[in-house]
Amino acid sequence: MILITGAAGMLGLSAVHMFLERGAVVAACDARPIPEGKMPGGDKAQRFLFAEANMTSEIHIINLMSTIRERFGRLDGLYHNVYVNRTAKIVNQDLLDWEDTVRGTLTSTFLMNKHAAGLMRTNGGGAIVNTSSVLGTIPVPENAAYGASKAAVEQLTRVAAVELAPWSIRVNAIVPGDFKSEERLAGYTERQKEAIGQKTLIGRSGLPHEVNELSAFLLSDAASYATGALYPITGGFGL
């Protein structure tokens, strides 16, 4: 049973459909509803639960875990995708925007890891995949709050791996570079696509399902020896 946060977003929604397609039982949450027409239907709906919840609210997360426990009885995996990014140069950054970014990106990760681990412990273990970003290591102007938060997510992941190992809970982080949905790329000019491609060795933006394939591996038993690690999936961005 897998929990996917940020399920109304590009990466999270793609992950919801991927995991359901592969037969998983999925719980999903976001502070906003899944877009009309994107909600899983048919037999997949029987294996799917969606809850609107704010991942910066501890009470929302506690209630979400209670719902998962009541509905499914267990939690085997967490794929955490929630973030906030209020961009500005440091000298112009509003304190509230800084705190909103840190809370939405770092604090949400802390709270989800904390409460997901508590539920996983009751059923003998599990796996957590946090989502970082290349901006956690590559300095990009106007992204100080986001970059610092993602760098902290990576250290949080390492510490969580150490602390949760006795409970048989693995914790890893993926580190995506640039990725965009096919629908979004369709609106880009060839010149814009070429500019993006020049920044990567692969020569293009990544697609959500490519990022999610790595997460699916890390949440599976095939990755049973992987914990406390960061997994870049960047197309060679910045190399």
Q: Which residue has the higher pLDDT, 234 or 193?
A: 234
- Say how many residues make up the chain: 239
pLDDT tens digits for 170-204? 999 999 999 988 888 888 888 988 888 898 999 99
The architecture that CATH gives domain 2-233 is 3-Layer(aba) Sandwich (3.40)
Per-residue pLDDT at 14: 96
Per-residue pLDDT at 8: 95
Nearest CA to 212 out of 113, 110, 81 is that of 81
* Domain ranges, ordered by start, for the chain: 2-233
Among residues 79, 146, 188, 231, the one annotated as catalytic is 146
pLDDT tens digits for 52-86? 999 999 999 999 999 999 999 999 999 999 999 99
Average pLDDT over residues 119-139: 97
Contact between residue 14 and residue 208 where contact means Cβ atoms under 8 Å apart: yes
Can you give the pTM of this predicted structure? 0.96
Where would I find the H helices in the chain? 10-21, 58-72, 95-102, 108-122, 144-164, 182-185, 190-197, 208-219
Half-sphere exposure of 193 (CA within 13 A, CB side): 13
Assess whether 225 carries a catalytic annotation: no
pLDDT tens digits for 17-54? 999 999 999 999 999 999 888 999 888 999 999 999 99
